[in-house]
Amino acid sequence: MTKEPFTLIGTAFHTPERCRLEVLQDHLFSVDAQGRIAEILAPGRPEYEARANAARQAGTLVLLADGQFLLPGLVDLHIHAPQWPQMGKALDVPLEVWLQKYTFPLEARYADVDYAREVYADLVDNLLANGTTTALYFATVHVDASLALAETCLAKGQRALVGKVAMDDPEQCPPFYRDADATSAVADTRRFIEAVKVLDPQERPLVQPAITPRFIPSCTDAALQGLGELATEFGCHVQTHCSESDWAKQFVEARFGQTDAASLGGFGLLTRHTILAHSNFINEPDMDLIKEKGAGVAHCPLSNVYFANAAFPLRAALDRQMHVGLGTDISGGYSPSLFDGCRHALSTSRTLQSGVHAGLPPEQRGAPGEPITHQEAFWLATAGGAEALDLPTGSFRVGHEFDALLIDTKAKASNIHINAADDTLEDVFQKIVLNAARANIAMVWVRGRMVVG
């Protein structure tokens, strides 16, 4: 799929490394017919004017206006696509009620592919409008509905990894919503992987399959074993929940006599292309193992407030150079926005460091480790997530694919207020990270294709 090349001139912010904000003031970006960044030029470079003039004459020049800025697209490492209709609902009930009364019955409805197509079209439109250019999706147990999600992403131009969920243990999964048995869970996953590869046969596919055991407690040993073999056979991505809560951590340790991460490793499910959602209760050996395997964590600070019992030890993971990115975890998280995700990651990290209980002496209140910065939060939502997924996006670099947002700080309903006389560009970036909303996202590109705007 080729598109017309274009050239964009404006000021971009990105975090090519975790602790480094880079401001590309008035730079020129050339995007080629494959949607790749072919050239990035600073003002004053000899080719700058020539490129700008050529694009202007060809009618392919995009000029950012005053108050507009370019950011890399956002990468959502954990989202339950079928839960989109209940986003912002049922967060006032205990986990068991949330699962049995709301979530499982809702997910079961995706046996109806028409329902799936309708919801998934709305979901992908809305996520793109919120700036999510890449999403790692849990779908449902249904192969056809999961394929409908992959097709929808491809049609609408969202970079995506989609997983048919595997959950076959009758002790933990409801009779109306599970794989019939381990054999069919594995066979259906294979069928799904093969179908997605047919759907998007490009050398660099936009949409890829992900092997998706819901989490260890919902899968039999045989299913986990079979899915691990598929991971080896296809080398594709793997996603699952890991050590999210006290209950989940204890359940796996009681069943296998070892941690969640170690158990996944034993089944061949911990690879360079694995994303572990949550991981709040991983210990130091788990971190070493995850780092050694090259796997990553989808940190979901908002949903953790509702369904975990503690915060992810983010600083410890970053200090180990583990791959980490952010997940909205819709609908355990109520917000579809990864800008909200950045802000929740900041709050959680600061709260973990300071503690919360005023009745304790300061030294007993929090946990060791420096809180993250807003630059690090933004890195998690962009380059960090992209690196975890091993995808060539998340920052502006020649050869990377052009996944980007045009932020309009002067949009109607904007809560970003810039004072040109007083604010540095670094201040502008902080104001964007802390107050950007959907209303500020004027345009969105994925692989050079304009998908919003």
Residues that bind a copy of itself (CB under 8 A): 84-85, 87-92, 122, 126, 129-130, 246, 280-281, 302, 305-306, 308-313, 334-337, 344, 346-348, 350-352, 354-359, 362, 365-367, 373-374, 412-417, 419, 422-423, 427, 430-431, 434-435, 437-439
E strand or H helix at 383, and its extent?
A: none
How near is the Cβ of 167 to a copy of itself at its closest, in Å?
Answer: 23
Which residue's CB is nearer to a copy of itself, number 19 or number 42? 19
Angstrom distances, CA of residue 27 to CA of 5, 41, 68: 17, 6, 13
For residues 153 and 132, what is the distance between their CA atoms, to the nearest angstrom? 12
Which residue's CB is nearer to a copy of itself, number 130 or number 152? 130
Helix H, strand E, coil C: the string for 261-299 is: HHHHHHCCCCCCCEEEEECCCCCHHHHHHHHHHCCEEEE
Which residue's CB is nearer to a copy of itself, number 129 or number 195? 129
Whether 425 and 61 have beta carbons less than 8 Å apart is answered as: no
How near is the Cβ of 68 to a copy of itself at its closest, in Å?
Answer: 16
Which residue's CB is nearer to a copy of itself, number 325 or number 333? 333
How near is the Cβ of 15 to a copy of itself at its closest, in Å?
Answer: 14
Length of the chain measured in residues: 453
How near is the Cβ of 208 to a copy of itself at its closest, in Å?
Answer: 27
Which residue's CB is nearer to a copy of itself, number 166 or number 418? 418
Which residue's CB is nearer to a copy of itself, number 87 or number 298? 87
How near is the Cβ of 425 to a copy of itself at its closest, in Å?
Answer: 12
CA 294 to chain centre: 17
Angstrom distances, CA of residue 219 to CA of 267, 296, 322, 344: 12, 21, 26, 31
Backbone φ, ψ for residue 401 (5° rounding) = -80, 150
Backbone torsion region of residue 390, taken as left when φ is above 0, otherwise alpha when ψ lies between -120 and 50, otherwise beta: left
How near is the Cβ of 99 to a copy of itself at its closest, in Å?
Answer: 17
Other C-beta atoms closer than 10 Å to the C-beta of 48 total 17
Q: Exposed, middle or buried, 23 (CB in 10 Å: 0-12/13-18/19+)?
A: middle
Whether 327 and 78 have beta carbons less than 8 Å apart is answered as: yes
For residue 167, give the nearest of 175, 155, 159 by alpha carbon: 175
Which residue's CB is nearer to a copy of itself, number 256 or number 306? 306
Which residue's CB is nearer to a copy of itself, number 336 or number 394? 336
Which residue's CB is nearer to a copy of itself, number 187 or number 437? 437
For residues 184 and 192, what is the distance between their CA atoms, to the nearest angstrom? 12
Whether 167 and 220 have beta carbons less than 8 Å apart is answered as: no
Whether 315 and 349 have beta carbons less than 8 Å apart is answered as: yes
Which residue's CB is nearer to a copy of itself, number 3 or number 438? 438
At 411, list the tokens. 């949009």
How near is the Cβ of 351 to a copy of itself at its closest, in Å?
Answer: 6
How near is the Cβ of 148 to a copy of itself at its closest, in Å?
Answer: 18
How near is the Cβ of 348 to a copy of itself at its closest, in Å?
Answer: 7
Q: Which residue has the tokens 């940190």?
A: 299
For residue 194, give the nearest of 266, 239, 146, 156 by alpha carbon: 146
How near is the Cβ of 37 to a copy of itself at its closest, in Å?
Answer: 28
